[in-house]
Structure 1
């Protein structure tokens, strides 16, 4: 490798990985300096850990410099992140020219900065979503309407003039172009549409050597009235209904709190089965009691036939019984279990024969940790 920081810039995790590598008799060389890493004596380990400490300090300082620069751009009203549905990113060139950045376009080197500009097509969709929600339509119904589901064609014509609009993820790395209830919720709760640009909602952090986003308690806002999309009256009405719905559905009809970690799923296939057409999870649909509920495609149910045409439904009790019976007959059969155990032992013996030193290497790695 070029230098030790290429292995990692987090002291605890990098030291563990380095010890594991050395324990497995792997030698490390630095090609820039043309020398081998020594990690045998106490002095060697101290020097290596000092280098790792310096690498982590540099990472933290670089992160702080980047955050300070981002805050300066925010205070000037410039784009500090990626794209936001409802707005165009407008490139401001050094010669004073301006250009709307196309989705997926690479920023030219002579761009001075980027600013937000309202996208009129997106604005039409956002306003219609808020109006539809305040007309007592749920997020699932709005998503299906935007996806031009067959049963929601009349609503699509009423609120969206019968048109099919691209979703916020269209043209991005995700590559999807359908609306979901979660997308609708984000649009209904995004305070940016009131002309308040947020900054500092999340901060980059590291947990166990993995980069994470940490939500911050304090968020800065920059007032940009020219970027307001939702009138205040409509925004207040939307938030009021969201609050009322949250209070209404925070408990189930029998008084139990939703999301209790002590309550397990009552359904066998909800976390196992997938739709054979679109690959989404199979979920439990409809019914006031377990005997009347059915398994079905979650994408078809939540997003409509345009996204997945699989409208097949199967009785929960019937399917559960069939699956359990099949497992009992084909998996838990004593002959099959015995065969599987014999096969596993045979493969293990072959591996031990091919790699006789492997157990000792594993033991050394465990002790090193």
Structure 2
């Protein structure tokens, strides 16, 4: 049995385009059965899954990344996967991933072909690259077929995916089978579209329109999981530029591709766009369309150079979320007496109106920043954090040592049995003139099992002392990291943002509260201890505060 006595992990992946045969349930079921038949052990926490992730995606596959991190921590001895296409569809990146896995001392098996992947020489590397090349070629062909299918639908003026405000998606069926999906004007939504175009052409701003629509309770566009349930500045901005509302369908402005190991959208040349006249889908007339585009062009000329890009200038922008609506906190201008100051405020209150969020509290940027930095330095970046993390680590080491002591006798008995069987088979082999292949194969299989067991025995016997040395090393590194983070917080806003990004385990929640000094924000967040001490499964530490009166540990 190839996996006998090995702690085994299982990895499964399926993209949206793949068939039921490649489903997660099939892979985990067949993989678990293979591990059991081959004598391996599989813990539930060592089943890693990526659902709806393409084979060329490497940066945003949490299951794959978690598996490699666990392998580097020696959490298991082997990984089982259906075949190389589950690992990836990029020749170079898949080969590098396999190399990293094997370099971590983890063996790799494909259950579909019942083989172990090895890189013992140039020929093995060539075979792996050839197979990964075939997987990448298959991915490209799937992408080409998908593009061709969507291109054909776009040229016919059909729905190529997604929903657009102002239209319904109507299924056209032949019996029970769906033939195509067509657009049809939704008259109720079309009235809102015409209203937006008229009011924008008459000089009203995008934020004013969003606030009014939210105040009136007009149902906003649906954006799937990205939807916020309210009208926004950005959704109206896209609407007044969408040519479909004047009866013109444009497809192919963007295309999906992979760069740097992740999916990105890039511009296609204008010559590749598909443009179809669809007068039956017209919602606004040419005169109104032209008036809106003329105003938009003037706006672009005035503000285009100031829009988008640029570095973040304020400490908490990008980290803060309003506790009432979930919208982002941002830095705005405000008047304090006769002075202009920057303040943190809820962006959705400003852009979408009180119907979406009634949190109108504004607090000075400098005051809040100082309070947050002081809180982190006083309650997170100090010696107690290291002591707490190291206590947890030592507790886990003691538990692991206890388990190892219980496991050693069983492992040694199993190793002794394998040695005895190998000796008997070798003696039997010596008595044959022609060497039976079954006996030779039996010796090789038992020798592989014995090698794996002996490796586990060596690791088990050395583990307590090795882990204690590791704790000492981590303690030294943690104290250095602690000093680095404190220094970053004290240097300048950019360095402070880097430090905050390093230690935060999630967004900071701004909750308006009443205090004796007046309305203030209570700011709550979670700091991961592994930011200071790298411990597997480390706990988080919560902190909260009321600005600017100071911060207190939760």
- How would you bin the TM-score normalised by the shorter chain? 0.7 to 0.9
1:113 equivalenced with 2:113 (yes/no):
no
Higher relative contact order (CA 8 A, sep 6+): 1
How many angstroms apart in 2 are the aligned matches of 1:355 and 1:167?
62
Map Cα deviations across residues 300-349 of structure 1 (whole Å, 9 max, x no partner): 11111121121212233443454455556x259xxx63444555677778
Between 1:72-81 and 1:182-191, the stretch displaced more is 72-81
Aligned length: 320
How many angstroms apart in 2 are the aligned matches of 1:117 and 1:91?
10
1:269 equivalenced with 2:322 (yes/no):
no
Q: Equivalences for 1:128-277 in 2 at 5 Å?
A: 128-148=195-215, 163-169=216-222, 172-174=224-226, 176-218=228-270, 219-250=273-304, 257=306, 261=310, 265=313, 267-277=314-324
How many angstroms apart in 2 are the aligned matches of 1:167 and 1:180?
9
How many angstroms apart in 1 are the aligned matches of 2:282 and 2:465?
67
1:337 equivalenced with 2:382 (yes/no):
yes
SS at match of 2:320: coil
Normalising by structure 2, report the TM-score.
0.53
Say which one has the larger Rg: 2
SS at match of 1:286: strand
Q: Equivalences for 1:320-359 in 2 at 5 Å?
A: 320-324=369-373, 326=375, 330=378, 337-340=382-385, 356=466
Deviation at 1:128, TM superposition (A): 0.6
How many angstroms apart in 1 are the aligned matches of 2:211 and 2:171?
34
Deviation at 1:291, TM superposition (A): 4.1
Q: Equivalences for 1:71-82 in 2 at 5 Å?
A: 71-82=151-162
The answer as to whether partners of 1:193 and 1:227 remain within 8 angstroms in 2 is yes
Q: Equivalences for 1:274-313 in 2 at 5 Å?
A: 274-287=321-334, 291-313=340-362
Which protein is richer in strand relative to its size? 2
**Cα 1:338/1:173, change in 2 over 3 Å:** closer
The answer as to whether partners of 2:344 and 2:364 remain within 8 angstroms in 1 is yes
The answer as to whether partners of 1:92 and 1:111 remain within 8 angstroms in 2 is yes
The answer as to whether partners of 1:147 and 1:304 remain within 8 angstroms in 2 is yes
How many angstroms apart in 1 are the aligned matches of 2:362 and 2:307?
25
**Cα 1:17/1:300, change in 2 over 3 Å:** same
How many angstroms apart in 2 are the aligned matches of 1:277 and 1:67?
43
1:45 equivalenced with 2:125 (yes/no):
yes
Structure 2 counterpart of 1:16: 96
How many angstroms apart in 2 are the aligned matches of 1:317 and 1:115?
54
Between 1:314-323 and 1:346-355, the stretch displaced more is 346-355
How many angstroms apart in 1 are the aligned matches of 2:339 and 2:101?
53
How many angstroms apart in 1 are the aligned matches of 2:269 and 2:307?
25
How many angstroms apart in 1 are the aligned matches of 2:169 and 2:350?
35
Normalising by structure 1, report the TM-score.
0.77
> RMSD of the alignment, in Å?
2.8
1:127 equivalenced with 2:174 (yes/no):
no
5+ long unaligned stretches in structure 2: 1-80, 398-462, 471-554
5+ long unaligned stretches in structure 1: 96-108, 149-162, 252-256, 360-369
SS at match of 2:146: helix
**Cα 1:301/1:223, change in 2 over 3 Å:** same
The answer as to whether partners of 2:155 and 2:274 remain within 8 angstroms in 1 is no
